[in-house]
A and B are shown apart, each in its own frame.
Chain A
Amino acid sequence: MQRALADETLVAYVDGELDPVTRRAVESGLKSDPDAALKVATMRHSADALRGAFDEVMSEPIPERLRAVIDRAVPSPNGQDSLFDLATRWLMAVATPRQFAFAGAIGAVALVAGLGIGQLEVGSEDAYVPAGIARSSGDAFAEAVARAMEAGVEGATASYERADIGVRGTVTALGQVALASGITCRAFRDEQHSGGMAIPGRGIACRGADGVWANLVVSELTSP
Chain B
Amino acid sequence: MDKATHDQLIALLPRLRRFAVGLTGSTDEGDDVLQSALEKALSRIDQWQQGTRLDGWMFRIVQTVWIDRHRARRRRGVHVDVADMPELPGGNAATETEARIELREVRERVAALPEDQRDVLLLVSVDGMSYREAAETLKIPIGTVMSRLSRARLALGRALGEAVVPIPLHKEFGHAKSAG
Residues of B within 8 A of A98 (CB): 136
Interface string of B138-149 (1 = CB under 8 A from A): 000001001101
Residues of A within 8 A of B152 (CB): 46
Residues of B within 8 A of A60 (CB): 17, 89
Residues of B within 8 A of A88 (CB): 4, 50-51
Please judge, given known A-B contacts A65-B31, A69-B35, A70-B9, whether A178 and B2 are in contact too, CB under 8 Å.
Answer: yes
Q: What number of A residues sit within 8 Å (CB to CB) of B?
A: 60
B21 contacts partner chain A, Cβ-Cβ < 8 Å: yes
Which residue of A42, A53, A75, A183 contacts B161 across the interface (Cβ within 8 Å)?
A: A42
B67 contacts partner chain A, Cβ-Cβ < 8 Å: no
Cβ contact within 8 Å between A45 and B160? yes
Cβ contact within 8 Å between B53 and A92? yes
A181: nearest chain-B partner, CB-CB: B46
Which residue of A6, A10, A14, A67 contacts B10 across the interface (Cβ within 8 Å)?
A: A67
Q: What number of B residues sit within 8 Å (CB to CB) of A?
A: 62
B121: nearest chain-A partner, CB-CB: A50
Cβ contact within 8 Å between B13 and A66? yes
B80 contacts partner chain A, Cβ-Cβ < 8 Å: no
Residues of B within 8 A of A17 (CB): 130-131
Cβ contact within 8 Å between A57 and B38? no
Interface string of B20-47 (1 = CB under 8 A from A): 0110000100110011001100100111
B15 contacts partner chain A, Cβ-Cβ < 8 Å: yes
Please judge, given known A-B contacts A62-B17, A70-B10, A100-B49, whether A45 and B165 are in contact too, CB under 8 Å.
Answer: yes
Cβ contact within 8 Å between B51 and A92? yes
A71: nearest chain-B partner, CB-CB: B6
A224 contacts partner chain B, Cβ-Cβ < 8 Å: no
Residues of A within 8 A of B121 (CB): 50
Cβ contact within 8 Å between A50 and B50? no
Closest Cβ–Cβ distance, residue A72 to chain B (whole Å): 8
Cβ contact within 8 Å between B136 and A50? no
B73 contacts partner chain A, Cβ-Cβ < 8 Å: no
Cβ contact within 8 Å between B4 and A81? yes
Interface string of B116-156 (1 = CB under 8 A from A): 00000100111000110000100000010011011111101
Please judge, given known A-B contacts A12-B131, A46-B125, whether A67 and B160 are in contact too, CB under 8 Å.
Answer: no
Interface string of A110-146 (1 = CB under 8 A from B): 0000000000000000000000000000000000000
Closest Cβ–Cβ distance, residue B131 to chain A (whole Å): 5
Interface string of B94-126 (1 = CB under 8 A from A): 000000001100110010000000000100111
A72: nearest chain-B partner, CB-CB: B42
A182 contacts partner chain B, Cβ-Cβ < 8 Å: yes
Please judge, given known A-B contacts A58-B18, A73-B6, whether A43 and B157 are in contact too, CB under 8 Å.
Answer: yes
Residues of A within 8 A of B21 (CB): 54, 57
A84 contacts partner chain B, Cβ-Cβ < 8 Å: yes
Cβ contact within 8 Å between B13 and A81? no
Complex formed: what's the CA distance from A72 to B45 in Å?
A: 13
With A49-B106, A97-B136, A180-B46 given, name 10 new contacts (CB 8 A): A8-B146, A8-B150, A11-B153, A42-B154, A49-B156, A63-B31, A65-B31, A71-B6, A82-B4, A97-B52
Q: Which 7 A-B pairs have the closest CB atoms?
A: A42-B157, A46-B157, A180-B46, A7-B150, A8-B146, A11-B150, A53-B106
